Amino acid sequence: MELSKRQEFIIEIVKEQGPITGEKIAEQLDLTRATLRPDLAILTMAGYLDARPRVGYFFTGKTGSELLTEKLKKFKVGDFQSVPIVVDENVSAYDAIINMFLEDVGTIFVTDQHSKLVGLLSRKDLLRASIGNQDLSSVPVHIIMTRMPNIAYCSADDLLLDAAQTLIERQIDGLPVVEEKEDGVEVVGRLTKTNIAKALVELGRDEHV
Ligand code: ADP
């Protein structure tokens, strides 16, 4: 977050004289308490300052990068996930390719008749299947997919950082976001490298509160 000159000045005053009341800060800046209130609210919300009733404001001692890390560690998968694209395990590889183009995704999730996750297809899986001159419209996706239990997945409550770590460790582009049920897992979302790039941009531009 870019601080204004006045906000930086307030931090300096609180650093040197804290705990200090809002009124005293206002006096020193030759401002009214009301004019100062939004700045104090921003600095408190952003974590630079803390306020104690009847004591006043004090400096938390946290640097900009510490505050940024704190924010990043609060990001959840559910805040950034996209809509999943899902096909039944019996559709053909040909239809899966068409789906991939129409939906503009790189990974398609495969479910069984009970809508439970049984596998997934990446671009490379479909390319590999197309190499052998097979008739792709007669090859069901369950023959060529990566299947459970080898699928890495996450839940909407997981930390975005942990999901990103899984993508790196497994060298994959995306994860299904699932809800675990007694008889299997249901796909509720899709988390890709693009979602993580978006989170990074929001953080850098300070759009995520
Ligand atoms: P691409 O095929 O476009 O390079 P990936 O790198 O995501 O895409 O996929 C590489 C391989 O890893 C594929 O065989 C794919 O089926 C598999 N894969 C992709 N995502 C997962 C996942 N979440 N869990 C397990 N395997 C996966």
Q: Which domains does the chain have, with CATH numbers?
A: 5-62 (1.10.10.10), 77-201 (3.10.580.10)
In our burial notation (b when 16+ CB lie closer than 10 A, e otherwise), range 126-146 reads beebeeeeeebeebbbbebbb
pLDDT of residue 209: 43
C-alpha closest to that of 160 among 208, 93, 107: 208
pLDDT of residue 27: 94
pLDDT of residue 139: 94
What secondary structure letter does DSSP report for 77?
G
Which whole number is the average pLDDT over 195-199?
A: 96
pLDDT of residue 207: 56
Residue whose CA is at the smallest distance from ligand 1 atom 26: 151
pLDDT, greater one: 159 or 64: 159
* Gap from CA of 110 to ligand 1 centroid (Å): 13
How far is Cα 5 from Cα 10, in angstroms, rounded to an integer? 9
pLDDT of residue 49: 93
Say how many Å lie between the first and final Cα of the chain, rounded.
11
* Gap from CA of 93 to ligand 1 centroid (Å): 16
The CA–CA distances, whole Å, from 103 to 7, 100, 165 equal: 46, 5, 26
**Local confidence band at 62 (pLDDT 50, 70, 90 cut-offs):** confident
pLDDT of residue 161: 97
C-alpha closest to that of 57 among 43, 38, 72: 43
How far is Cα 56 from Cα 38, in angstroms, rounded to an integer? 16
The pTM assigned to this predicted structure is 0.80
Q: Which residue among 81, 104, 107, 127 is best mutated to probe the pocket of ligand 1, counting the most ligand atoms within 8 A of its Cβ?
A: 107
* Cross-strand bridge partners of residue 51: 57
pLDDT, greater one: 101 or 132: 101
For the beta carbon of residue 209, count every other beta carbon within 10 angstroms: 7
How far is Cα 187 from Cα 117, in angstroms, rounded to an integer? 6
Atom of ligand 1 nearest to the CA of 122: 2
* Gap from CA of 14 to ligand 1 centroid (Å): 52
